Structure 1
Amino acid sequence: MSLLEQLSSDLKTAMKAKDKLRLTVIRSLKTALTNAKISAGQDLSSDEELSVLSSQVKQRKDSLAEFEKGDRADLAEQTKAEIEIVQAYLPEQLDEAAVILIVDEAMQATGATGKADFGKVMQYVMPKVKGRADGAMVNQVVKSKLS
């Protein structure tokens, strides 16, 4: 079942359950995927779908940080719930230990030794963790390994 079909099915379930938050989030995800599909001019690959979902999570995390900084607990709680809903459609997230192993593998494969090799390592790592790890965490791990 494709991601759009899964979202459509979950949308119907949320409607029947009168779950307004889930309904709103699923509609926004479907819209984002449809807009990406139109922009691409073709059906999205699973990697492209993951990229869209990851950007949706990132947007919500950015909003969450702003709400917390602005002392808006009500909006922060709602945004946390939205993040959980979106993450349910993403593959299981890698923890830092798994990312460190991938970065170590990348450093061996590319022969990276210092900060000048940051781009080579990131280019090797990102396709392997796409949609499964936060880019900021990957960036931090690579920087700490190369320094």
Structure 2
Amino acid sequence: MGIHEELAAELRDALRARDRKRLDVIRQVETEVSRARTEPGFSGEAGDELYRRVIGAYCKKMEKARLEFAAAGERGRAQAEKLAFEIEYLARWLPSTLDEAATRELVRSAIAELGAGDPKMAGRVIGHVMKAAGGTVDGALVGRLVREELGAG
């Protein structure tokens, strides 16, 4: 069963249970997917890959907003908790990311493969790792590790 079908089943369950929190997050994801499908340059079907990309981008936005609400103290606590629920709920449809040790190995092998020794080649190494890993690594972590390995940071 694809992500679209799973979300449809979750939506039906949430409607039956009158679970407002789940309803809101599922409807928001479906809205984001519809928006992505109507963007210029989109072609193809709304398959699992599109859903993963949209859910990943949505979770990243919500995490940033959650941190801002959490920094607001008591005033933003309820909204921060709502966003934390959304992120946790959607996490099951995101691809798992590699830990720091595995990412460091990818970075080292990319540096060796490209023969990079100069910090000026950091962008090329980062691009190589991101392309090779195919969405299973955190871009910020890759950037930090590449700069560490090349001595640029």
Q: What TM-score range do you get, normalising by the shorter chain?
A: 0.7 to 0.9
The corresponding residue for 1:132 is: 136
* Larger displacement relative to structure 2 (103-112 or 41-50): 41-50
CA contact under 8 A between 1:90 and 1:131: conserved in structure 2? no
Q: 1:50 to 1:78 in 2, by over 3 A?
A: same
Looking at structure 2, the residues matched to 17 and 127 of structure 1 have their Cα atoms a distance apart, in angstroms, of 42
Q: 1:138 to 1:18 in 2, by over 3 A?
A: farther
Q: CA deviation at 1:21?
A: 1.2
1:96-119 CA distances to partner (integer Å, 9 max, x unpaired)? 122112111211221121211111
Does 1 or 2 have the higher relative contact order (CA < 8 Å, sep 6+)?
Answer: 1
The corresponding residue for 1:12 is: 12
Looking at structure 2, the residues matched to 16 and 89 of structure 1 have their Cα atoms a distance apart, in angstroms, of 22
The corresponding residue for 1:65 is: 67
Q: Residue type of the partner of 2:63?
A: K
* Larger displacement relative to structure 2 (9-18 or 113-122): 9-18
Looking at structure 1, the residues matched to 19 and 56 of structure 2 have their Cα atoms a distance apart, in angstroms, of 23
Looking at structure 2, the residues matched to 86 and 131 of structure 1 have their Cα atoms a distance apart, in angstroms, of 16
| Equivalences, count | 147
The corresponding residue for 1:95 is: 99
The corresponding residue for 2:108 is: 104
Looking at structure 2, the residues matched to 79 and 8 of structure 1 have their Cα atoms a distance apart, in angstroms, of 21
* Larger displacement relative to structure 2 (7-16 or 58-67): 7-16
Please give the TM-score of this superposition, normalised by the length of structure 2.
Answer: 0.84
The corresponding residue for 2:33 is: 33
Q: CA deviation at 1:66?
A: 0.8
Looking at structure 2, the residues matched to 146 and 119 of structure 1 have their Cα atoms a distance apart, in angstroms, of 11
Q: Could you tell me the percent identity over the aligned residues?
A: 31
The corresponding residue for 2:90 is: 86
Q: C-alpha root-mean-square deviation of aligned residues, in Å?
A: 1.9
